[in-house]
Amino acid sequence: MTSHLRLLTAGLAVAIALLGSTVVLTRASAAPAVAARATSPPSVYTGATSGGSIATPAPPQDLLNALGATSAEVTTTSVAHLSQRASANGIVSLVTDISQGWVGAVTTSGTILAAQYRPVAAVPDAGTPGARTETTGVTGLLAIARARQVEITDVSGTPPLVPGTPGGGSSSGGWTQVALFGAPLVLLLMLIVLMRFRRGGTGGGDSMSSISSHGKIRSTSKVAPSQTRFADVAGVDEAVEELRETVAFLKEPERFAGAGARMPRGVILYGPPGTGKTMLASAVSGEAGVPYYSLSGSEFVESLVGVGASRVRDLFVKARKNTSGAVIFIDEIDAVGRKRGSLGGGNDERETTLNQLLVELDGFSPRDRIVIIAATNRVELLDDALTRPGRFDRHIQVSLPAERGRRAILAVHSANKRFADNADLGHIASITAGFSGADLAKLLNEAAIMSVRGGRPAITNEDLAEGMLRVVAGPERKDRALAAGDRERIAWHEAGHALAADLCPTHPKVQRMTILARGMAAGLALFGDTDSAMLSPQELHERMIVALAGRAAEQVHFGTISSGAANDLEQVNRLARQAVERLGFAPQVGQIVTSVGEMPLTLAESTRREIDLAVGAMVDAAYAEALTLLDEHGAQLDRLANAVLEHEQLDREALSEALWEIQHPGKRRVPAQVKALPTDRTVSPVATPADPAPASETPDRDLPRGRRPRRAHDHRQRPAVAAVLAARTITASAASLIPALARPKSRRSATG
């Protein structure tokens, strides 16, 4: 028996002992309590009873007065008979005289009954069976009367005998309550002591056995070989090919041993959420036909010292018992495998669990056919000792699917769905760059729900478009209230995004535009993104133009701006700062980065000022370009905004029809080309003289230019200042141009 079970047993014994002691105390205190209430012996009279004419004591006068009867009108009976009448709802009122040991009742037929129970004080031996029975009987009678809601009157002023009633009663009631509440309290105290011993981690073998009893993995973590196969996982072909070798090792380990190859036992799958990492691990088990242990990294981390390490040991012990092999899958391993010391401290439960995991990874024998697969979204956060060769030494990236992968994923999830003839899954795959496999599965599921809601037998293109909008922005909010003029402003805002996207050659075109509120957005322009691994300065510049075109459209048409571009501004500033601080797209800053991973680098204050100036110049230039584009294509902007006001939603076909005038390259203005050089800063070579003269003998003005000492005020040694001043001049020119562009033309003043 483990220590905690012994401790609980001891607590239960204490509770039982406490309950027994209360019973003894109850009996011991009952006699003096009732004796104190005893009075002089009652008078005796000859009255009729149900059994004949015998000498019986007369009921007290107080009892007769309360019953409203004389002694001749009262029939004497037993307490048991009164209890039977009370149980059968045969009495309407009950009168007690506890001090003299009498009880009376009025029946439903009007008969008046009275009964005497023998007081305990009247018996020399307090333990006489008769006295105990009669006293218990009247107590039960009172309890029955209260349960039947019979009116009870006491004429003696002594507290009633029923335990737990207001006003007291026999002392056994209070002690019984103490016993009932005291036993759980003792058990609770014993549990608290047990928890303190376990948390402290001390106490010798008993404490460690207690920890071990809790350091077991849950029984549901092991399942039979999974039913998932590699054919059920689409869009991650490279990861599947890497994992096929793992399946071959589990099936035929002798092939690798014969070639002298050591198959990696630890595999880390990393990538964005929803890309299929869990399905891949399950498919390895299904293809190899071996048991599957699936746990989360958080299941190993507990506040109790040693529990996490014990669970790791228990997991590997159970996995090694499977002679045919096993797959252990640890999801979100960064919960236990994060770099040691990154969360503060160096001796906590998480690091102890990680150390035990590292030991188990080193303890594989050649006969062990176990493969450990871990999944994480942030592989850079894992401890180096965990990812080194010999442990988790095979890293497989599970990235977002490309267009071909998205087509395969849509084919897998659409196998059990019915589609209309006009449903084009290929078009959906081409415009959903950045969607994960989980996003695509949700898109098809939402489309199927929309078809059922609309009473259609098959999924249409409209259902697919609605499903995509729901994935991106959420369901439509039909109850959102708009002030006067807000609907028109939203229409021109979204029309500005759509028109600017068509005017920018490198930017994806808008596939659907709506002014119906969804989620937190009052309107939405959904772009069909494309797969691209590189980003040029021109592409980044055009992205910023399109993002700011909504606010620019408001200024061009209404002459004012609103808060509707808050999210656009966040996006633009993030792009500009990334271009300057990480991509080196700002000539005045050059190839300077501000951080490596998550660690910021130390920069001079002047460099940070130059970075802020460069970010502001990029944003201002993009906004000025958006104003120019929309002002020169004002007719198309108004036509598109009026169309979306009329129909509330426009698909790509309707957008192309409204913007037919700018489809020809020669009939539209495009953004200016951005020429971002790595740097325009020059470095002046420093010549070293053959025989330098002492500083006191050669004045500074007589020294060659390359040998003059550097001074804080000498701007000739800082060529980047000229680039900064040039950027400020360009920004000021653009700012002076904005008010002229913001003034509405005469043809718009009538509609504004």
What residues are annotated to the active site? 494
| Tokens read off for 27 | 């009996």
For residue 108, what are the contacts with CB-CB under 8 A and spacing of at least 6?
A: 89, 90, 91, 92
SS3 at position 141: helix
| Tokens read off for 134 | 């009669």
Q: Which residues pair with 371 in a beta bridge?
A: 327
CB of 523 within 8 A of CB of 490? yes
| Tokens read off for 45 | 């009279």
Nearest to 376 by CA among 471, 495, 266: 266
For residue 643, what are the contacts with CB-CB under 8 A and spacing of at least 6?
A: 650, 654, 658
The H or E element that residue 726 is part of is helix 720-742
SS3 at position 397: strand
CB of 193 within 8 A of CB of 8? no
Distance CA 608, CA 442 (A): 44
Distance of CA 486 to the CA centre of its chain: 35
Amino acid residing at 405: G
| Tokens read off for 248 | 């071959």
SS3 at position 670: coil
Burial-class residue 563 by CB neighbours within 10 Å (0-12, 13-18, 19+): exposed
Report CA-CA distances (Å) from 368 to 216, 268, 331, 466: 21, 19, 22, 51
Nearest to 622 by CA among 533, 730, 525, 529: 730
21-26 long-range CB contacts below 8 Å, 24 or more apart? 22/175, 22/176, 22/178, 22/179, 22/182, 23/179, 25/175, 26/170, 26/171, 26/172, 26/175, 26/176
Strand order across the 326-331 sheet? 222-223, 292-296, 326-331, 370-376, 266-270, 394-397
Distance CA 84, CA 137 (A): 11
Nearest to 82 by CA among 138, 134, 121, 42: 138
SS3 at position 48: strand
Amino acid residing at 283: A
Q: Is the torsion defined by CA of 200, 205, 206, 210 positive or negative?
A: positive
For residue 371, what are the contacts with CB-CB under 8 A and spacing of at least 6?
A: 246, 249, 250, 265, 266, 267, 284, 325, 326, 327, 328
Distance CA 55, CA 45 (A): 6
Residue 429, number of CB atoms within 10 A of its CB:
22
The vertex-436 CA angle with 248 and 339, nearest 5°, equals 70
DSSP letter at 69?
Answer: -
Amino acid residing at 609: R
Nearest to 494 by CA among 525, 463, 466, 530: 525
For residue 315, what are the contacts with CB-CB under 8 A and spacing of at least 6?
A: 217, 221, 293, 295, 328
For residue 536, what are the contacts with CB-CB under 8 A and spacing of at least 6?
A: 506
Report CA-CA distances (Å) from 306 to 5, 122, 199: 19, 67, 9
